[in-house]
Structures are given as structure tokens and as C-alpha cells.
Chains A and B, each alone.
Chain A
């Protein structure tokens, strides 16, 4: 009798699993056709050369890529931008969220999200009107008897791009941090205040460990968004930007126009591998931190 009930329950579970599987089938099929299959096709491409009849060339594309000075330049610039832009945006938005955690700041919080909804062309036009050689800052300088300055030139290009990234992503990350902070039980904070009145100590001892999972998530989002800055650079500078902001996407985009799909696929594969390792390292850090703090986020 008990055995028969178990079988019935198992059958029901199987049927339920099958129903669930059938529900996800359409999206799974889409993923297979439009994401997974092209991904493996790209992986295949990176080991071949030729357009109409690709020939297997082993790791030659990878070796060519590592020996290519423009690729090296693009990697260096992309890493520089990410190395400065991502931590800067992360910590500034975290700091702002901590400042705003006591409530209020509603208007400020929402206004920080504005850059996300402003069309890119308008954003770029605004920055050009502000920083260009005929822009507001340059004109102010000229009115003061100083020479004109092109803040969009090579000298300041990386700084401008980092500031643009900060301006665009600050609000989004701040919202993530603020909502994460708002989920911390008030008892934790009140209990800590009984021991210490130091806001700094509370931040490092209570708030940061409590929001660690969301902080990791925000960091990953910031890294992903850092690749999207290409659109703004492209609109401002075209396919040949100044030397210090020539990014990996420029390299890949320009190779697309040369029909060098193999090189493009190889560069994309390496980029994806690097991102995968980075995110894996983040998740490992998160797991260790969570274990250390006694939580269980998995």
C-alpha cells in the first residue's frame, strides 16, 4: 500500500516535471537557436579561416590576435577603463546610498536614474556641448582670456569616458544598494548602536556583510555595463577614437567591417572567457564571504 502511494507520488512528480519542461520548451528552443547554437558556431569559427569555405587552422587565430598591436592596445584600454570606472562607480554609488539610507532624498534618488532614460544621442550631444572645443567650458575659459580647450581630445578622453560611465550608472547602482540596505533588519542596526555609535564601524561590521550578495550583483552589473560605453564613444568619436579610448568593441566592430569574422569571433571568445573567469572569481569570493559570515546564500 505504502509502496503504491510512493509510486503514485513519483508519477505525479514526473508528470509535474514534464509539464514544467513543456512550459520552458519554447524559450529553451529560442535559447538553443539564437544563443547556444551561434555561440558554438562562433567557437568553431575562432579555429578556422576563410569566409565561404572555412578551413581549420588550430590556434593560429589566437596567436595572431595576441601578436596584434591593436588588440593589445584595445585590451589595455578596456582594462584601464574597467579598472578605474567600475570600482569608482561602485564605491561612489555605495557611498551615496549610505548617505541616503536614513530616508528622504526621494527626489534625488529618482533624479539619479534620469541618465538611464535619456536617449544616447541626446546624452552625447549634451556632453559635446559642454566639453567640446566650442563647448560651454571652453567658451568660459575664452571669456576669461584663456585659450580654448577641447576636453574631448585625446588628453582627457579617458577621463571623460569614465565620468560619463559614472554619471550614467550611478543612479542604477545606488538604487540597488539602497534597496539592499533597506532590507537589513532594523534590529541588527539598533543592536549595533547599543555597542557603538560609530557610523563607519556599523557600515563595515553590519551593513556591508548584510548586503554582500547584492553588492556582488551590483559589481557584476557594473562590469557588464562598462562594455556598453562603446555606444557613447562610437557616437562621439566614430570607429577610430583617440588612442587611449580605443576599446575591444572598436577592434571587433572594425573587424566586422573587414569581414574578418574569425578574428572577431576569437576576440569575442577570449573576452567571454575573461568575463566568465571574473564572474566566477566574484562568486567564489561571495561564497567565501558568506561562509565566513555564517550565512547561506546558495
Chain B
């Protein structure tokens, strides 16, 4: 509702990925109907979800799924904002004068939260700044009655008294006003939707997902409810800590932190301490090698926590999981109550020497997606080999073989070709390598020819190339699947096909990336408690967290998220998705070989080196890796 009492209702059509807006006046008359608006994030175009949406004075204020703040007219013209630093926006609020307040965090600022106030020239002024709030899911709301701004975080609500001048000095930080959030009311599943300060009440909207057994069948039900927050009398009761678990990770992971908070809601006796090297992923990325060295040194010195995050850049986790540094979880996983719903292909893929020493929360899988612009007579299916698909590229110079891909994906294609064939060229037992297989050389030659022909890939340009794609090579993450598929569906008039990447020439090896993989230190004195937490991470509720960007290892959560986000089941797509994910045979335990060989082989594809030269160089480096 805006300041004049007009009501704005926004619908998202999940299947076709756009939003429509209906506007009613204060008397309830429909003034604008079904106005189609594009709420795509203008910076990170692929996101089409909106976290918060407001209309004021004919302007749309939008916090996008990627935490950008966009201000647009109803006609879709963007209003430039004067944001000096790169910020993540989380929540917005307006006071009775239409003044905008925003809750933001500074990118790479190590969890520094701010409340900003926007002036008439669209400049932001910092009203309040605090280092590390207890939740990334915080929201703000303004109450006209109390003339206070409320900030709802995971554990409490802070209030700010706003002076007319709005200066920082006049703000009152209400850290001594503890409120119960009624965590038990939503049974450890805090899927909070909204927070509203209305009059003297603080209201929290949430949704709850639970299983219902009826007539011998189990199905999922979704309930929404509003919870009124109660002011507690006196300080919050002290928790009785019985177990302290330490988690070691290279950087703060939103999924892990939120999942741990969910776990602690049901297990207040468990305290979790964090041993984190970098505050954010952005801080971590330029220092992957140092972080890897630090992690290895800590593992060697038995200086890691009870649970260690072992996936991610910086070190080769296969080598680590081959050692006894981490507990063998095979029997625990097989005896877990969640074992039946876990993706066995993924579990098998990370089993090394019959031992499973880590549990991935999710995985990402390379796949091909193409639209109906591709001629069906080409017969591209899940069983196509690299040589066959490259031959199609050679025979059809008018078709972009791997569609519009981001810069640098040429290497990813070489990498995929290499991986699909690695087990037929590298003998891991005898530690020998032969890349001079005729079919592999033929595939490389074809790849180079298609690249030269100009129809291997084309640089991704959202607006210009979007509808010209035939194939799209992508790494399937949960949000990516949902957002890309819905948009693609719209562009292709409902005909999109998802396929596995081309298979190897002699075998059908498929690989997957592990996201957020966790292991228990062999030297942990609290292995049972650590396992209890680890097991919880793959249970349904945390696997539903949106912060788990990967495809959940819990199949029930995967299916539910597809069902949840698409609203109506898309059976054909789900079948294709299942087929792709049932194809997994290996985890990317060959990552070091791929990382080493792909740039070398790429030199030939790009035409800067001869085939024999690159094959020899790649063979030498793989030989080194095998034997070192």
C-alpha cells in the first residue's frame, strides 16, 4: 500500500518468469490490471526473484534476489542511485514522510550492517553502522505510532528512535529490549517471510513446511502463519551448554551458519564455535591458495575443529579424503534415518577406497540445455558422445554448439571433454597416462575446428543473444535451474530440454561438483555430537534453505524445491532433471588433473600450440600428479 492508500498486488508467473502488477485505489476499484513488469536484476540479469517490493510516489523500490536495490518508474525506467560503495541491500522501510531507510551490508566488509537514509537527491546517508549482526536474514520496519525503526534479527529486535533531523547521534540502540521470537512455534524451520512493526505490535510472518501422512501416502503441506513477538520480562534465560563443537572452514558460509542456527533451535545445549579464515566468500576468493595451505597445516597439526568444511578451492580434497585425517562415515551414513532419501549416486561418487569420509550438502552438475530452435533431426540425446556432438557442430556452422556462454568457458568445455574421457586414458592404478588415443585426438581436432569455424560458443550478451541460443552449457545449481529454466521456458514457448553433458568415447562417465562438503576430524573427542549435527545438515529442513545454492543431496528436498518454486509440477522437466542427476558416477576427484590439463589442451584448441606439443605437456603433468 502506498501513502495514498492505493494497493499494489504483484504476481509472479513462475512458469514463464515475469511479474504482473494490479493496482487498486483506496476504494477498492481496480485501476491498473495485469501490467507486465520486468523485475530482473539489472546488474546480475539472471535473477528474476524479488526479496522486497514497495511502491511510493509512482516509483517501484525493489530489493532483487541478488541484494541489489533498484528504483524504477512504473514504466520500467531506472532511477540512478548514488551508492558510493558496493553494498548488499537486505530490507527497506518508509516513514510517514516517505523517507526511505535501507538495511544494507558492505560487500567484503566482513558483515558490517548499516541503516541508510536516502535523501531527495537519492544520496544515502549512514544512520547507523554495526559490525556483524547475528543474521543475514534481517529485516527492518518503521512504526508510525511509535516513530521508531525496528530491526529484526535472528535473536532479537532492535529499536531506533528517529529524530526529526535523523542524525546518528539521536538514534537509540535498543540492545536492552529483548523479545522472544517464539522459535518453537515454527519447529526449527524458520522460513521467515516478513516482519512488520504495526502500531505497538511486532509481527513476524513465516511459512512452515511439514509432512502429512494420509491414506497410506505421505505428502508435503505448506502453512503460513503470523506470529506476534512478545516482549520478555528481564534478560533472556541463560542457555545450559553441554557440548561445544568447533567448525573449521575457509570462509563464512551462509548455508552452514543458518543450518547450525536451525540445529541449535532444537539443541540449545549445543554451542558452536567457528574457526573461520575469511569472513566472506569475496574475501576468500583472492586467497584460495593461502587458505588451502593454512587448512592443510591445521589438519597436519591436528588443529582443526570437530567438523571441517573440506570442499572448495585451495586444496585437492581427494588427497585429503584418502588419508585417515577424517573419520570414515560409511557406517554412520548407511545407518542414518535420512539414508533412504539421500542421492546415492553422489554418495557413491565420493566414496574412495570403500570409505566415505565426508558428506556433501549439495552438488552441482554440468549439463546441456537447449531450446526448440535446435533441429530435432540432429538427434542430440543423453547418450551422445563428444565426437558426435562436435561433428554436428562441424556439419551445421549456423548452429552455436554450446550457445552463448560467459567468457572463459572455452576452457570449461575442454575440461569437460577431458574429464569425460579421463578414465579411458589414465590408469590410476598403474599410474600411467596416454592422451594419444586416436578418438581423443580426433575430438580435440574437431573442437579446434568448430572453434575456428566460429560456432563453438558466442560471448554472452543478455539482450542481444538471448533468443539466439541453441544449446546452453551450464553448471546446474538449484537457483540456476529454477531461474534459467523459467526464463528459458518463456523464450522457447515452453520447449526446453535438459541433457547430460556429452559422454566419453569409450564409457559414460559423468562427474559432479561437491558443494559445501563437511567431514569430522578423526581426532575429535565429540564425534557423536559432530555426527548428529552433520546428519542434520542433510535432513529435509536445512536442505530446503535457499542459501544452499547447490542441488540438495537430499532428494526429497530437491523435488520439493522444484515443486515449491515452480508452483505447478513440470513433470517432463523433473524427469529430465532426474535423468541428469542419475547419471553421476564420479565426484570431481580428478579436479587436479583437470585443472592441470585443461589450460594446456586449450592452447591447441585456441590455436597457439600444436597438438603433439600439448599432449606431451599434459601427459607429463598428469604423470607428475599421479606419481608424486
Q: Identify the A interface with B (CB < 8 A).
A: 50-53, 68-70, 240, 243, 246, 251, 254-261
Contacts and interface: CB of A to CB of B under 8 A. Distances in A.
Nearest to B524: A52
Contact of B627 (A51, A69, A257): A69
A51 B325 contact: yes
Nearest to A261: B300
B620 A243 contact: yes
Interface in B61-106: none
B628 A259 contact: no
B323 A251 contact: no
B316 A51 contact: no
B323 A50 contact: yes
A69 B522 CA distance: 32
Given A240-B624, A257-B315, A257-B319, A52 B522 contact: yes
A88 to B, nearest CB: 27
B300 A259 contact: yes
Contacts of B320: 258-259
A51 B299 contact: yes
B324 interface: yes
Nearest to B300: A261
A260 B319 contact: yes
Contact of A51 (B292, B324, B596, B623): B324
B522 A255 contact: no
Nearest to B320: A259
B602 to A, nearest CB: 15
B382 interface: no
B316 A258 contact: yes
12 contacts: A51-B299, A51-B323, A51-B522, A52-B523, A53-B522, A70-B623, A240-B621, A243-B620, A251-B628, A254-B628, A257-B316, A258-B628
B292 A52 contact: no
Interface in B161-205: none
Given A52-B522, A240-B596, A70 B628 contact: yes
Contacts of A240: 596, 621, 624-625
A8 B494 CA distance: 106
Given A240-B596, A260-B323, 17 more contacts: A51-B299, A51-B522, A53-B522, A68-B628, A69-B627, A70-B627, A240-B621, A243-B620, A251-B628, A257-B292, A257-B315, A257-B316, A258-B319, A259-B296, A259-B300, A259-B325, A260-B319
Contacts, number: 55
B319 A52 contact: no
A52 B624 contact: no
B122 interface: no
Closest 9 CB pairs of A and B: A52-B522, A258-B319, A51-B325, A70-B627, A51-B323, A254-B628, A240-B621, A70-B628, A50-B324
A160 B620 CA distance: 21
Interface in B495-548: 521-523
B315 A51 contact: no
Nearest to A260: B319
A68 B628 CA distance: 8
Interface in B271-330: 292-293, 296, 299-300, 302, 315-316, 319-320, 323-325
Contact of B628 (A50, A52, A243, A255): A255
Contacts of B300: 51, 259, 261
Nearest to A133: B608
Contacts of B319: 257-260
Contacts of B325: 51-52, 259
A274 to B, nearest CB: 20
Contacts of B620: 243
Contacts of A261: 300
A230 to B, nearest CB: 15
B315 A70 contact: no
Interface string B318-346: 01100111000000000000000000000
Contacts of A257: 292-293, 296, 315-316, 319
A191 B615 CA distance: 67
Contacts of B522: 51-53
A257 B299 CA distance: 11
A258 B315 CA distance: 8
Contacts of B293: 257
A59 B514 CA distance: 37
A246 B623 CA distance: 13
Residue with the greatest number of chain B CB neighbours at <10 A, chosen from A50, A70, A260: A70
B624 to A, nearest CB: 6
A235 to B, nearest CB: 13
Contacts of A254: 624, 628
B324 A246 contact: no
A52 B296 CA distance: 13
Contacts of A255: 628
A246 B624 CA distance: 10
A38 to B, nearest CB: 11
A258 B625 CA distance: 10
Nearest to A254: B628
B480 to A, nearest CB: 30
Contacts of B323: 50-51, 259-260
B76 to A, nearest CB: 47
Residue with the greatest number of chain A CB neighbours at <10 A, chosen from B522, B596, B623, B624: B624
B95 to A, nearest CB: 53
A273 B248 CA distance: 37
A290 to B, nearest CB: 44
Interface string B605-628: 000000000000000110111011
Given A50-B323, A51-B325, A70 B624 contact: yes
Contacts of B296: 256-257, 259
A256 B616 CA distance: 26
Contacts of A251: 628
B166 to A, nearest CB: 49
Nearest to B523: A52
A273 to B, nearest CB: 21
A255 to B, nearest CB: 6
A261 B301 CA distance: 11
Contacts of B315: 257
Contacts of B621: 240
A258 B316 CA distance: 7
Contacts of A70: 623-624, 627-628
A51 B308 CA distance: 15
A228 B523 CA distance: 35
Contacts of A256: 296
Contacts of B623: 69-70
Contacts of A68: 627-628
B321 to A, nearest CB: 10
Contacts of A260: 319, 323
Contacts of B521: 52
Contact of B324 (A52, A69, A243, A258): A52
Nearest to A55: B324
Nearest to A255: B628
A255 B621 CA distance: 15
Contacts of A51: 299-300, 323-325, 522
B628 A53 contact: no
A188 to B, nearest CB: 54
Interface string B210-246: 0000000000000000000000000000000000000
A51 B519 CA distance: 15
